[in-house]
Structure 1
């Protein structure tokens, strides 16, 4: 019994101490003229879907849920966001070379076809980010048309 209390107490102290670790804040301002919507043609219906289901991890502005203030949850979320932005950052799309822009648009289509995005761990909590068949079709059509028209 005494050992169990020590283990639980140590765990609680560790969790309390973790709350003081610095947190990243993905709240940057998108540079003018660099966002995907400013660089290439994104229909408004596709843009709404992208913002709802993709922008939290793939842009410089994340709408953090309340539980993101708690460590180690915040640490895990920040890792997902960093990796997501490394793959595709909608706010820095204009800085990408034309080849990378085409590649990222194709990757959006491939991720949709494979059902890889949005992540299941994200949609489990953010139910509004789940893509309907119509949402997927809209984004797939846009991605195919756009990737074939980019230079």
Structure 2
């Protein structure tokens, strides 16, 4: 057997074996948890639906998994992506955030959609429906501006 054939067979065997090791799924029994952002702030239905449709996959306890999640190592990549997204902002536990953190997250949400760095391009490649439209942005920003929160002032060039 040639070296190339051994390498290809070894690679295929590895792909088969890694299918047995799957990360746990990020699925709660309820889409809107007791600590959901809608339990902290009055949230217009249209804005909540925008957040659910365009943000909750990576920023809540309820990810809707595509068929390709069943293929390793894709599932590991998606699980890590969701874990990282929830580390930055988790709408499912938003009510538990201290006030200062919650205010900062609202400021970051506005920045993320206004500057276009959320949703991530890599997510939008397959999830075109998650594109934040101008009307989505306007609705979210209007809602945030109406919240009883005070954003911190940042110096020019300061990281936040």
Cα shift readout 1:94-130 (whole Å, capped 9, x = no counterpart): 1110111101111101111221100111111011111
2:22–2:72 Cα contact (<8 Å) kept: no
Q: Does 1:40 align with 2:50?
A: no
Contact 1:29/1:60, CA 8 A, preserved across alignment: no
Under a length normalisation based on structure 1, what TM-score does the superposition of the two structures give?
A: 0.91
TM-score by length of 2: 0.86
Structure 2 counterpart SS, 1:34:
coil
Instruction: State the Cα distance separating 1:78 from its structure 2 match.
Output: 0.5
Q: Where do residues 6-25 of structure 1 align in structure 2 (5 Å cutoff)?
A: 6-25=6-25
Gaps of 5+ in 2: 151-160
In 2, the alpha carbon distance for the partners of 1:145 and 1:6 equals 64
- Number of residue-to-residue matches in the alignment: 149
Q: Is the 8 A contact 2:38 2:48 kept in 1?
A: yes
Higher helix share: 1
List per-residue Cα deviations over 1:50-92 (Å, max 9, x = no partner).
1111000000111101100111000000011001111111110
Q: Unaligned 5+ residue runs, structure 1?
A: none
In 2, are the aligned partners of 1:109 and 1:140 still within 8 Å (CA)?
Answer: yes
